[in-house]
Each structure stands twice: as structure tokens, then as C-alpha cells.
């Protein structure tokens, strides 16, 4: 029978949101990796001002999640050494990823001989017991959304609900048991000028680098249904320039990666439209080489405009100029 047009289509809960193959650095070597995004009930916190993941949530059971994982693994091959499982929330939250599904997934990855698993979790779900559960199966990297080392920005602008000390405590739990920590930093939370955002990301990387094995720089993009989207629609927010991302990456001394999601689009980090592809490509290749000299050879006529914007925005109390 035909569906009525206003009936909400329920996604098939046995299919992951998406899955893709790529390459990552593992102990200094380029290896094949598989990334999957599983559809869970969604993040329990669900309050961060830039995050629109809540719209992806659905009532997936433990069996659904294992089925999603299995379907995603069909895209794998014997070359894949790293698997990244993202849930748009916390893999270690048992309400989101039931223990039964978590343990089955870990067992499967161990049996397949996967070298490294990467998962994401808010710090409050990172307990010794859960960390041990993962590490007893395979090497695991625990990625935590720190966003910034500045508690004021994280609490009042991003509304993350965790403080820097929570991140440090979680990192100590993981490191104490021999696991790896990845810290996500956000380039350009709302209400910060372009220059403030660059300075915040660089100083955050310095502070977080002492407690993390790797930094992942996330360039803020406009997700649907968020406060950031409402500000953007009113001309009160602009995603970061890709030039800014290059400056931040050049000034971080610890290992750092960055996937410029949505680069060159209005909702994503962007420059003038002409140079976006080249800079996004340089950012991606930096992930595998960690060679910052790649940013020195890039140029475009919009670079002067970006520099001028940074100078003038210091005087506009957070209102973007371009
Ligand atoms: S950014 Fe992370 S913690 Fe914040 S609402 Fe989104 S999924 Fe939850
Ligand atoms: Zn340009």
C-alpha cells in the first residue's frame, strides 16, 4: 500500500547510517581503515549548540546494532587494520549501546584481528570497567569531545556539560590501563571572532596535548536544528575559513588530524569558492604526513580578505563580517 505523504518514514534499524573506507596513520604507517556510523537512540546529553545528531536517533535494539555492525563490516577487507565506530553519541553509554551489543562487537573485531578500534564517548561513561572491556579485546582509542580547554567557552557557548578536569580524569583512566586518547577540538564555536577561534584552538591543543595521544580538529559546520544554524540564518555566525584551519594545524606541535567535513559549502568551513578544494586536499594529506609545509605553498586572492576580516572582527563584538 502506498504511504501517505505525511507519514514519517522509520529508517531500517538494521542498516548503519553510513560506512566508508579510507586510510589512517597507525603507529606512523598508512593503513586501510573502515569507518561506520551506527544508528542508536542518540546522545543522552543532546544539548550542545552545534550538534544536530539528535535527528539521526531511532530506537535501535542490541540486535539491531549488531546487525548494523555486521552490514558495515561487509565493506571491510583483509587489508583493513583500523575500525572506527561512531554512534553520534557515546559508544560506552549502556543506554545507547547495550552491553550485549558492545561485547559482541568487540568479540567480532578481536576475532577478525583488527589492530585498532576507535570509539567516541563522553567522559562520564569512561569507567575502568568499560575501558578494560575494550582493551581486553583489542587496542582501543577513546575519542572524547573536549572541544576547547576553556571551561567558560565549553560550558556557556558550546553547552557541553563537562569541564576540562572531567576530560583529564577520563584520560587518566584510559592511560592508566594502556589505552589511547583522542581529543576532539572545535574550531570556531559561535560568538567567537575568527581570530579568537584560532587562538582558542591553538591554546586548547597545547593543553589537551598533555593528556591525549592525538588531537582531532573539527571545523564547525552548520547542522540542522541547532543554535548555530539559527545564528547563521540571521547572519550572526560564519563557519571557519579554511585558511584558519591551516594556521591552527601549523601551530599544533602534537599529532593532529582534521577532516574538513563539508569544506567549500555554505554550511561547511569555506574560503572564496575557488581555493577551497585545494586547501581541503592539503588538510587531508597533512593527516597522513603530518608535514605542515604543505600549507606554505597555498595561496589565493581571498587570503588578503581573510586577513583583513580577522583584523576588523576584533572590533565587531563577535559579529562576522564576511
Ligand atoms: S556534540 Fe556529542 S555530547 Fe554534544 S550533543 Fe552532540 S553527540 Fe552529544
Ligand atoms: Zn580563495
pLDDT digit string (tens) for 162-179? 999 999 999 999 999 999
Residue 11 inside a domain? The answer is no
- pTM listed for this prediction: 0.94
pLDDT for 4 beyond 50 = no
d(CA 54, CA 58): 9
For the Cβ of 86 lying below 6 angstroms from any atom of ligand 1, the answer is no
User: For 26-53, how does the pLDDT look when each residue is reduced to its tens digit (9 = 90+)?
Assistant: 999 999 999 999 999 999 999 999 999 8
- Which atom number of ligand 1 is nearest to the Cα of residue 42? 7
Residue 318 inside a domain? The answer is no
Q: Which ligand is nearest to the CA of 279?
A: 2
For the Cβ of 144 lying below 6 angstroms from any atom of ligand 1, the answer is no
Res. 143 pLDDT band, cuts 50 70 90: very high
pLDDT for 8 beyond 70 = no
Q: Enter the DSSP assignment of 92.
A: T
Residue 297 inside a domain? The answer is no
Q: Which ligand is nearest to the CA of 37?
A: 1
Backbone angles phi, psi at 26, to 5 degrees: -130, 115
Residue 111 inside a domain? The answer is yes
Average pLDDT, the chain: 94
Q: Which ligand is nearest to the CA of 41?
A: 1
The range of the structural domain enclosing residue 189 comes to: 18-290
Backbone angles phi, psi at 8, to 5 degrees: -75, 125
Residue 322 inside a domain? The answer is no
Helix (H) or strand (E) holding 84: strand 80-86
The β-bridge partners of 26 are 29
Residue 13 inside a domain? The answer is no
- Which atom number of ligand 1 is nearest to the Cα of residue 44? 8
Tell me the mean pLDDT in the region 306-313.
Answer: 92
Question: How many CB atoms neighbour CB 97 within 10 A?
Answer: 25
Residue 250 inside a domain? The answer is yes
User: For 62-80, how does the pLDDT look when each residue is reduced to its tens digit (9 = 90+)?
Assistant: 999 999 999 999 999 999 9
Q: How many domains does the chain have?
A: 1
For the Cβ of 43 lying below 6 angstroms from any atom of ligand 1, the answer is yes
For the Cβ of 182 lying below 6 angstroms from any atom of ligand 1, the answer is no
Residue 7 inside a domain? The answer is no
For the Cβ of 154 lying below 6 angstroms from any atom of ligand 1, the answer is no
Q: Give pLDDT, residue 6.
A: 45
d(CA 84, CA 267): 25
- CATH (domain of 249): 3.20.20.70
Amino acid at each position: 500500500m502506498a504511504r501517505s505523504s505525511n507519514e514519517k518514514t522509520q529508517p531500517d534499524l538494521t542498516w548503519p547510517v553510513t560506512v566508508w573506507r579510507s586510510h589512517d596513520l597507525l603507529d606512523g604507517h598508512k593503513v586501510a581503515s573502515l569507518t561506520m556510523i551506527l544508528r542508536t537512540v542518540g546522545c543522552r546529553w543532546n544539548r550542545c549548540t552545534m550538534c544536530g545528531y539528535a535527528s539521526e536517533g531511532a530506537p535501535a535494539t542490541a540486535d539491531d546494532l549488531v546487525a548494523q555492525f555486521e552490514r558495515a563490516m561487509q565493506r571491510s577487507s583483509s587489508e583493513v587494520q583500523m575500525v572506527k565506530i561512531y554512534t553520534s553519541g557515546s559508544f560506552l553509554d549502556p543506554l545507547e549501546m547495550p552491553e550485549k551489543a558492545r561485547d559482541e562487537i568487540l568479540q567480532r573485531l578481536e576475532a577478525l584481528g583488527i589492530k585498532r578500534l576507535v570509539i567516541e564517548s563522553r567522559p562520564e561513561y569512561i569507567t575502568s570497567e568499560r575501558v578494560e572491556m575494550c582493551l581486553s579485546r583489542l587496542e582501543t582509542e577513546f575519542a572524547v569531545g573536549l572541544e576547547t580547554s576553556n571551561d567558560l567557552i565549553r560550558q556557556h557557548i558550546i553547552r557541553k556539560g563537562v569541564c576540562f578536569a572531567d576530560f583529564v580524569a577520563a584520560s587518566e583512566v584510559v592511560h592508566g590501563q594502556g589505552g589511547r586518547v583522542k581529543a576532539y577540538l572545535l574550531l570556531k564555536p559561535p560568538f567567537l571572532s575568527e581570530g579568537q577561534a584560532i587562538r582558542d584552538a591553538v591554546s586548547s591543543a597545547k593543553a589537551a596535548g598533555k593528556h591525549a595521544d592525538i588531537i582531532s580538529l573539527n571545523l564547525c559546520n552548520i547542522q540542522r536544528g541547532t543554535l548555530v544554524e539559527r545564528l547563521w540564518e540571521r547572519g550572526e555566525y560564519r563557519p571557519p575559513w579554511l585558511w584558519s584551519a591551516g594556521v591552527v594545524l601549523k601551530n599544533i606541535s602534537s599529532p593532529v588530524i582534521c577532516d574538513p567535513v563539508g569544506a567549500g559549502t555554505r554550511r561547511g568551513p569555506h574560503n572564496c569558492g575557488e581555493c577551497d578544494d585545494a586547501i581541503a586536499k592539503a588538510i587531508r594529506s597533512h593527516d597522513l604526513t603530518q608535514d605542515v609545509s604543505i600549507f606554505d605553498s597555498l595561496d589565493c586572492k581571498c587570503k588578503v580578505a581573510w586577513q583583513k576580516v580577522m583584523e576588523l572582527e576584533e572590533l565587531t563584538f563577535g559579529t562576522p563580517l564576511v
